[in-house]
């Protein structure tokens, strides 16, 4: 196969790992394929041995200490409820899956079978998923066909509701996790743009699709993605680059004009626009920027009153004892972690995120790349904003550990120690 074919296959694999689906007629076999793709390349890398930087060793030790803390919580609280451990293993498999795609990429790169960067493959994979959503939205019979042949998670198809009509992709319903995926890829784009790894023409293409994708899968992601592009525009203006500013103004005008046209000419889309702009309409009507989502989030914060014991040591439960959602009846990330293991456990978990941010900042600085403080700032802001709404730590690690590795190994021709085994 030629290099373009290998690149396309990697794009498909990374898209699949980030948005997995399982065909109904071969579900067990399909799941076996997913887990094989997720873990076998990592075992291969461990078997061959790979060149580890000191920072990677430090992260592994921190991660090991975090795993120990999961069990310490159970011993301290005497809850002996292992629902979180099950959720953790699933999250770990998701992280390992993205690492496996990077290992496959590096294997191909060492054999000169691929030349594009892993960062470009990361961007193209999310664009591919967004393109699928656009296709399903434009061709409803195709969406119905796809829905009928894949395993659906949950008994209700929320995409039948007008406000969720865009939240459908290859994985079926695509919500919070997918809008976060788009937002994380926006940071990868920002790094590539300020370091001139992509042309202005490609940059415009990526901006357009990333905005559409975040718009499709959730309001939070759309707001954060738009914020990151505003910050990138300000960063570019500081360095006297007006091209991105001009394009961003153009995009805003196009989105607003298209929204007005659709709102007044397509009656079926009016409820969707009303839902999307609910905070704005509520501000114009009552002077408050709020929505059903923000009101629900507000109730989470108002009802968060852990005891001193819970605050410091947690209760050891992840899911509600009655099976009604999360323990503590909250979606907010730091609240769920405090209810499970207390503030000390939460800080240990957050140290995983902060260490990756620090490693990336040091790598960019030491290798004289642009954005040594800007990119880490976006990464921290990305984590903080999403953690205030939902549990984001493992989704964050799933996207940014491969980003760190592709930076760290980008200048190295080989990462495997024993190259004679294959």
300 occurs within a structural domain: yes
Share of the chain above pLDDT 90, in %: 35
Total of domains in the chain: 1
pLDDT of amino acid 17: 93
pLDDT averaged over every residue in the chain: 83
pLDDT of amino acid 191: 95
Give the bridge partners for 23, in sequence order.
150
- Cβ(348)–Cβ(391) below 8 Å: no
Q: By three-state DSSP, how is residue 158 classified?
A: helix
Number of helices (H) and strands (E) in the chain: give both, helices first. 17, 2
The pLDDT tens digits of the residues spanning 363-392 come to: 999 999 998 999 999 999 999 989 988 889
- Cβ(189)–Cβ(404) below 8 Å: no
Residue 281 has pLDDT above 60, yes or no: no
- Cβ(331)–Cβ(300) below 8 Å: yes
| Least confident span in 13-27, 143-157, 332-346 | 143-157
The pLDDT tens digits of the residues spanning 141-152 come to: 998 899 888 887
Give the bridge partners for 168, in sequence order.
173
pLDDT of amino acid 120: 94
Residue 276 has pLDDT above 80, yes or no: no
296 occurs within a structural domain: yes
285 occurs within a structural domain: yes
- pLDDT bracket for residue 110 (50, 70, 90): confident
292 occurs within a structural domain: yes
Q: Please say whether the dihedral angle defined by the alpha carbons of residues 212, 217, 220 and 225, taken in this order, is positive or negative.
A: negative
Residues 283-287: contacts with CB within 8 Å, 24+ apart? none
Mean pLDDT confidence for 238-265: 67
Structure tokens at 63: 């991660």
Give the Cα separation of 401 and 383 in Å (integer).
14
- Cβ(118)–Cβ(111) below 8 Å: no
Structure tokens at 419: 């190259």
Give the bridge partners for 416, in sequence order.
50
The rounded Cα 316 to chain-centroid distance in angstroms is 27
Structure tokens at 28: 């067990």
pLDDT of amino acid 399: 94
Give the Cα separation of 379 and 360 in Å (integer).
10
Instruction: Return the C-alpha torsion angle 227, 232, 236, 238, nearest 10.
Output: 60
The pLDDT tens digits of the residues spanning 44-69 come to: 777 666 666 778 888 889 999 999 99
297 occurs within a structural domain: yes
Residue 393 has pLDDT above 70, yes or no: yes
- What is the residue whose two structure tokens read 């009928």? 148
pLDDT of amino acid 52: 66
Residue 419 has pLDDT above 50, yes or no: no
pLDDT of amino acid 421: 39
Share of the chain above pLDDT 70, in %: 79
- Cβ(10)–Cβ(101) below 8 Å: yes
CA angle, 368 as apex, 235 and 224 as ends, to 5°?
35
pTM (two decimals) = 0.85
pLDDT of amino acid 34: 86
Q: By three-state DSSP, how is residue 410 classified?
A: coil
Give the Cα separation of 152 and 24 in Å (integer).
9
Higher pLDDT, 408 or 155: 408
| Least confident span in 18-22, 116-120, 271-275, 281-285 | 281-285
214 occurs within a structural domain: no
DSSP-assigned letter for residue 173: E
Give the Cα separation of 198 and 403 in Å (integer).
16
- pLDDT bracket for residue 126 (50, 70, 90): very high
184 occurs within a structural domain: no
Q: According to DSSP H, which parts of 266-332 are helical?
A: 270-276, 278-286, 292-302, 308-313
Q: Which residues span the domain enclosing 299?
A: 277-306
- pLDDT bracket for residue 422 (50, 70, 90): very low
The pLDDT tens digits of the residues spanning 305-342 come to: 888 888 888 888 888 877 678 888 888 888 889 999 99
Residue 269 has pLDDT above 90, yes or no: no
Residue 240 has pLDDT above 90, yes or no: no
């Amino acid at each position: 196969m030629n290099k373009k074919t290998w690149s396309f296959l990697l794009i498909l694999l990374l898209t699949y790992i980030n948005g997995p689906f399982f065909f109904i007629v071969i579900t067990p076999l399909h799941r076996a394929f997913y887990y094989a793709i997720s873990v076998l390349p990592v075992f291969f890398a461990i078997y061959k041995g790979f060149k580890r930087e000191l920072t990677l060793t430090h992260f592994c030790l921190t991660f090991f200490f975090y795993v120990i803390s999961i069990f310490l919580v159970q011993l301290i609280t005497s809850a002996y409820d292992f629902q979180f451990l099950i959720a953790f293993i699933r999250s770990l498999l998701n992280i390992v899956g993205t690492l496996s795609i990077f290992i496959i990429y590096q294997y191909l790169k060492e054999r000169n079978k691929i030349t594009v960067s892993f960062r470009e493959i990361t961007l193209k994979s999310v664009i591919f998923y967004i393109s699928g959503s656009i296709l399903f939205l434009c061709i409803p019979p195709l969406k119905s066909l796809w829905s009928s042949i894949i395993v659906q998670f949950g008994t209700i198809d929320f995409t039948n509701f007008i406000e969720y009509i865009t939240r459908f992709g290859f994985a079926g319903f695509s919500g919070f996790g997918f809008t976060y995926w788009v937002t994380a890829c926006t940071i990868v784009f920002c790094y590539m743009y300020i370091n001139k790894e992509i042309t202005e023409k490609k940059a415009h293409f990526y901006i357009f699709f990333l905005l559409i994708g975040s718009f499709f899968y959730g309001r939070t992601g759309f707001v954060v993605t738009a914020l990151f592009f505003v910050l990138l525009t300000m960063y570019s203006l500081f360095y006297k680059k007006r091209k991105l500013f001009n394009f961003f103004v153009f995009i805003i005008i196009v989105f607003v004009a298209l929204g007005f046209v659709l709102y007044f000419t397509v009656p079926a889309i009016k409820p969707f626009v009303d839902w999307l702009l609910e905070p704005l309409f509520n501000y114009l009507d009552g002077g408050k920027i709020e929505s059903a989502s923000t009101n629900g989030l507000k109730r989470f914060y108002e009802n968060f009153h852990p005891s001193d014991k819970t605050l410091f040591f947690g209760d050891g439960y992840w899911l509600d004892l009655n099976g009604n959602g999360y323990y503590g009846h909250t979606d907010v990330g730091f609240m769920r972690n405090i209810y499970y293991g207390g503030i000390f456990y939460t800080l240990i978990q957050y140290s995983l995120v902060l260490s990756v941010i620090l490693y990336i900042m040091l790598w960019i600085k030491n290798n004289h790349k642009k954005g040594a403080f800007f990119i880490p700032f976006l990464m921290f802001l990305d984590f903080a904003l999403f953690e205030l709404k939902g549990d984001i730590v493992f989704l964050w690690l799933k996207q940014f550990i491969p980003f760190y590795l592709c930076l760290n190994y980008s200048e190295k021709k080989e990462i495997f120690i024993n190259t004679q085994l294959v």
